[in-house]
């Protein structure tokens, strides 16, 4: 396994079928960097785990001994070099494949459900509903790239409170899902990361207010995560999480080999807006209906919205919404400064003519 520009690359052929996984830090898994590696072919046709590999020593008679114990064989690497040994065994992945959990792939609540002849909603109305999603930190399946790393604020919450503004906010979140799906699909079909990101950006901005998402940052974000080997759900959580729209529920093991965890994942509830996430976090503790399930489990996040009755029962005076208020105030001030600069520039241009 080679390390090229930060990406782990398994060599072609049989070498890719042998790996070792060792719990070095004693936390019960081998999902952290340096705890999983491809095994090296030896001159005798066997395999050696490079984790904890130690150079063998010769005694006075010239016989080689492993400093870790004579029960470990001294082997010469097929590529040449000094004889070495390792206490860690190799696993044949063709006989013992890595078992990976599927992505959570929660579509969330359908925005426009069925209605009766009078236009009344037939389903349950959910307010500030979310969708379960996961991202994966550095591990074997992500070639040890952190697909959960926040990439900054890309999606913006609107400042207005009208019905049209709320609809725009929901459309933005849907646009993110649509765009990242387009980018990932294009990349898997053979497009370059740049081409795929452009396809994703075009899908994101269709029908959206261009001020609601930083397209240039979105393009850079997509290129980076595609090159890191992150999947579509990693991308979705990465963009929304960095924009303050996801609540992290917890961590779980998403990939194992012979029962050894080699990849973790972080389960989230992601919402259409940052405000939705804040009200969910502040409101759920007030309601008995969430007392038992809470946020669910990391592997199965419980992301439903409030019913109309639950929402009416919320006491907003007990909520700390300062995180959202501070953001609005900061953005309003910056917008005022930009507006003033534009007016001054226009004035100077007028008097100079």
Compare 109 and 163 and report the one with higher pLDDT.
109
Retrieve residue 89's tokens.
Answer: 């065994």
Residue 61 pLDDT exceeds 50:
yes
Residue % of the chain over a pLDDT of 90: 54
- For residue 193, give the H/E element and its range: helix 193-205
- DSSP states along 212-246: GB-HHHHHHHHHHHHHTT--HHHHHHHHHHHTT-E
CB atoms within 10 A of CB 270: 28
Q: Confidence class of residue 328 from pLDDT cuts 50, 70 and 90?
A: low
Question: Taking all residues of the chain, what is their mean pLDDT, rounded to a whole number?
Answer: 82
Retrieve residue 94's tokens.
Answer: 């063709």
- DSSP states along 56-70: -EE-TTS-EE-TT-T
User: Distance (Å, rounded) from C-alpha 223 to C-alpha 315?
Assistant: 43
User: Distance (Å, rounded) from C-alpha 325 to C-alpha 322?
Assistant: 5
Question: Highest mean pLDDT range out of 67-71, 114-118, 210-214?
Answer: 67-71
Retrieve residue 297's tokens.
Answer: 């489990």
Give pLDDT, residue 347: 40
Give pLDDT, residue 55: 96
Q: What dihedral angle (degrees, nearest 10) is formed by the CA atoms of 290, 292, 297, 301?
A: -20
pLDDT in tens, 68-89: 999 999 999 999 999 999 999 9
Residue 232 pLDDT exceeds 50:
yes
Q: Confidence class of residue 114 from pLDDT cuts 50, 70 and 90?
A: low
- 165 phi, psi to nearest 5 deg: -65, -45
Give pLDDT, residue 12: 37
pLDDT in tens, 337-347: 554 455 445 44
Retrieve residue 32's tokens.
Answer: 């952290």
Q: Identify the CA nearest to 321 among candidates 274, 288, 284, 271.
A: 274
pTM of the entire structure?
Answer: 0.79
The label of the residue with tokens 């503004």 reads: 165
Compare 322 and 250 and report the one with higher pLDDT.
250
Residue 350 pLDDT exceeds 50:
no
Give pLDDT, residue 178: 86
User: Distance (Å, rounded) from C-alpha 213 to C-alpha 233?
Assistant: 19
Q: Count of alpha carbons within 13 Å of 273, Cβ hemisphere only?
A: 22
Q: Identify the CA nearest to 239 among candidates 260, 254, 255, 223.
A: 223
Residue 185 pLDDT exceeds 80:
yes
Give pLDDT, residue 3: 37
CA distances from 203 to 157, 181, 199, 223, 319 (A): 19, 9, 6, 15, 36
176 neighbors 240 (Cβ within 8 angstroms): yes
236-247: string of b/e by CB count within 10 Å (b at 16+)? bbbbbbbbbbbb
Residue 161 pLDDT exceeds 60:
no
Give pLDDT, residue 2: 35
Compare 332 and 182 and report the one with higher pLDDT.
182
């Amino acid at each position: 396994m080679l390390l090229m520009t930060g990406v782990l690359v398994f060599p072609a052929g049989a070498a890719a079928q042998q790996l070792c996984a060792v719990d070095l830090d004693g936390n019960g898994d081998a999902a952290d960097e340096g705890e999983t590696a491809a095994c090296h072919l030896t001159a005798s046709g066997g395999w050696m785990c490079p984790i904890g590999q130690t150079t063998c020593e010769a005694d006075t008679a010239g016989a080689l001994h492993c400093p870790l114990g004579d029960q470990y064989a001294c082997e010469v690497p097929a590529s040449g070099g000094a004889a070495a040994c390792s206490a860690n065994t190799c696993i044949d992945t063709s006989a013992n494949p890595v078992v990976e959990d599927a992505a959570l792939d929660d579509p969330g609540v359908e925005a426009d459900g069925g209605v009766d002849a009078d236009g009344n909603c037939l389903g349950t109305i959910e307010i500030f509903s979310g969708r379960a999603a996961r991202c994966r930190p550095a591990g074997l399946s992500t070639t040890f790239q952190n697909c959960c790393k926040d990439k900054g604020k890309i999606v913006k919450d609107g400042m207005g409170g009208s019905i049209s503004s709320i609809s725009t906010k929901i459309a933005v979140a849907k646009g993110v899902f649509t765009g990242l799906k387009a980018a990932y699909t294009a990349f898997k079909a053979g497009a370059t990361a740049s081409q795929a990101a452009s396809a994703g950006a075009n899908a994101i901005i269709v029908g959206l207010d261009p001020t609601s998402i930083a397209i240039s940052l979105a393009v850079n974000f997509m290129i980076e995560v595609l090159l890191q080997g992150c999947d579509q759900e990693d991308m979705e959580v990465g963009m929304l999480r960095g924009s303050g729209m996801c609540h992290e529920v917890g961590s779980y093991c998403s990939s194992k080999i012979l029962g050894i965890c080699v990849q973790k994942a972080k389960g989230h509830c992601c919402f259409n807006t940052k405000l939705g996430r804040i009200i969910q976090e502040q409101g759920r503790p007030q309601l008995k209906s969430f007392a038992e399930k809470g946020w669910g489990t990391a592997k199965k996040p419980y992301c439903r919205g409030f019913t109309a009755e639950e929402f009416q029962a919320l006491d907003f005076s007990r909520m700390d919404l300062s995180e959202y208020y501070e953001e609005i105030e900061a953005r309003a001030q910056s917008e005022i400064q930009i507006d003033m600069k534009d007016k001054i520039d226009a004035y100077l241009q007028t008097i100079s003519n």
